[in-house]
Amino acid sequence: MLMRLTRPALSLLIVMTVLLGLIYPLVVTVVAKTAFRREADGSLLYQDGKLVGSTLIGQSFSDPKHFWGRPSATTPQPYNGVGSTGSNLGPLNPALVKQVDDNVKALRAADPDNRRPVPVDLVTASASGLDPHITPAAAYYQAARVARARNLPVEQVNALIAAHEESLVLGVLGERRINVLELNLALDRLH
């Protein structure tokens, strides 16, 4: 009796393991590598044959000559793909308020002449802590600092920002955004 009940269960376990643990992942991998090769390989960016990053994971930039991305809440270091997480701090949490205030102070200290309101994405971490994008408002907010640090006309930096603006997904989803790594690489090629 027990064997009569166990045999179908074991057979189903073996069939499902082969089907969902081997065949399905293999098919998905082959389709991804064929139809979406760049994305399946991690959307990696190379400069002069050297790997410089991925368009999918943000990087920590602190040099005034570069645009800065969103703060990252990952540990033990920013933009840690293994430790992807948000801060989980609510809007009334004093630690979040202090963190945002500290970020605003750092931005003001880096560009004391800039009196415009600080865009929210420059002072708050994304849900994953890995967001590689900033809003156009965040990029334009930093344009004068970057132009000054590179001895470039601010109009040229603004034109570069406009050229790197990504539109909505399918024309309706998300918001306009700029990949910080791609923008900084373009800046480095310029000057």
Tokens of residue 179, six digits? 């990949």
The whole-model pTM stands at 0.81
Instruction: Dump pLDDT digits (tens) for 113-133.
Output: 999 999 999 999 888 888 999
Tokens of residue 59, six digits? 């990087």
Nearest-10 Cα torsion for 102, 99, 130, 133: -50
Tokens of residue 39, six digits? 């994305």
What gap in Å lies between CA 56 and CA 130, rounded to an integer?
8
- Strands, DSSP E only, in 3-134? 44-47, 50-54, 133-134
Kindly state the average pLDDT of the residues 77-95: 84
C-beta separation of 43 from 170 below 8 A: no
Q: How confident is the model at residue 74 (pLDDT cuts 50, 70, 90)?
A: confident
